[in-house]
Structure 1
Amino acid sequence: MASYLGLSSGLGFDKNISYWTVPAALFMALLPRFYAGLSGPGKQFFDRSNPRNFTARLESSDLDKRVRQRLQRAEAAGANAFETLGLYAAAVTAGNAAGVPAATMNALSLGYLATRALYTWVYIWGQENRRMYPARTIVWFVNMIIVMTAFVQAGLRL
């Protein structure tokens, strides 16, 4: 497994996997939609011919309020993931084009995926606890710092 991820015998990565994290990020962006509308209790309210109407249909549904809000937050988490995906892909491209070291790009890329996963969890399930409200913003901010760091590193290399 270590060679697959590009781990060297030292402390860093010797193989650049950052481009591979872009499709992984796309897959992760699709997961909240799968959870909310394509499986589980939201499936009956999801219209594949009009998917943008899903949250409105949930609002008028007879689902339990807690479940309905969780499904709506899942839709919002997925939308947020797609909103950041282009910026992330551009940051990966810029970093690699500028020759940012593989270890740096790998660390930033894996950090992006980790914070996206955490953000999605906090947004969908964590927001049921009022004490977790600030966590969503903090995790999103860290996620954006990672993306901007890739751009800054690219700029410093050129």
Structure 2
Amino acid sequence: MEGGAFERNFTFYTVPAAFILLFLPKLYSFALGGKYLDPAHPRKYQPTIAAADDLEAKTKARILRAESAFANGLETVSLYAAAVVSTNVARVDPQAANALALAYLASRVLYNIVYVFLQGADPRWALVRSATWFAGVGVVLAMFLMAGRAAY
């Protein structure tokens, strides 16, 4: 992409984007079951959802999967942010770094969709969910490897 947007490094902007993406399942969870949230005891939200007798089983399962998708995002975003910093410090080619950053964001979007929406309809989607998670982790590892190679 001669003269294109990919020649300028925009990877730092993808970190807040990743952070926003990880919160989307949480917001969806609250949209479905927010009345069960006690702001004074937010960690009791999931057990309260699980015990709710007035929630349809399908909705309850979707809320709990959304909560799990959110937790997974929290578990991985710091590693991704560190990978972005490493590619910038090592001055990795911006086109490669940008492509990997977008691939990571795409993997997280796909992960959330598969986990929250598709897996409930068919448990076989769990394999696809795991594959998207591994793809995202693979992107992060690739970013670290590229940074290591560029630094030496």
| Smaller-chain TM-score bracket | over 0.9
Range 122-131 or range 79-88, more displaced:
122-131
Q: Does 1:66 align with 2:58?
A: yes
1:1-20 equivalence runs, <5 A: 8-9=2-3, 13-20=6-13
Residue 55 of structure 1 is matched in structure 2 by 46
Aligned residue type for 1:75: E
Q: Does 1:28 align with 2:21?
A: yes
Alpha-carbon RMSD across the aligned residues, in angstroms, is 1.3
Aligned residue type for 1:142: A
User: Could you say what secondary structure the match of 2:25 adopts?
Assistant: helix
Aligned residue type for 2:135: V
TM score, norm. by length of structure 1: 0.90
1:81-100 equivalence runs, <5 A: 81-100=73-92
Q: Does 1:154 align with 2:150?
A: no
**Displacement over 3 Å in runs of 4+:** 7-10
Count of matched residue pairs: 149
In 1, Cα distance between equivalents of 2:2 and 2:66 = 37
In 1, Cα distance between equivalents of 2:38 and 2:83 = 34
In 2, Cα distance between equivalents of 1:47 and 1:106 = 40
Aligned residue type for 2:44: N
Residue 3 of structure 1 is matched in structure 2 by none
Residue 137 of structure 1 is matched in structure 2 by 130
Gaps of 5+ in 1: 1-6
Aligned residue type for 1:54: Y
Q: Deviations over 1:4-50 (max 9, x none)?
A: xxx6546x71111100000011111111111102x2x3011112222
In 1, Cα distance between equivalents of 2:139 and 2:116 = 22
Residue 36 of structure 2 is matched in structure 1 by 45
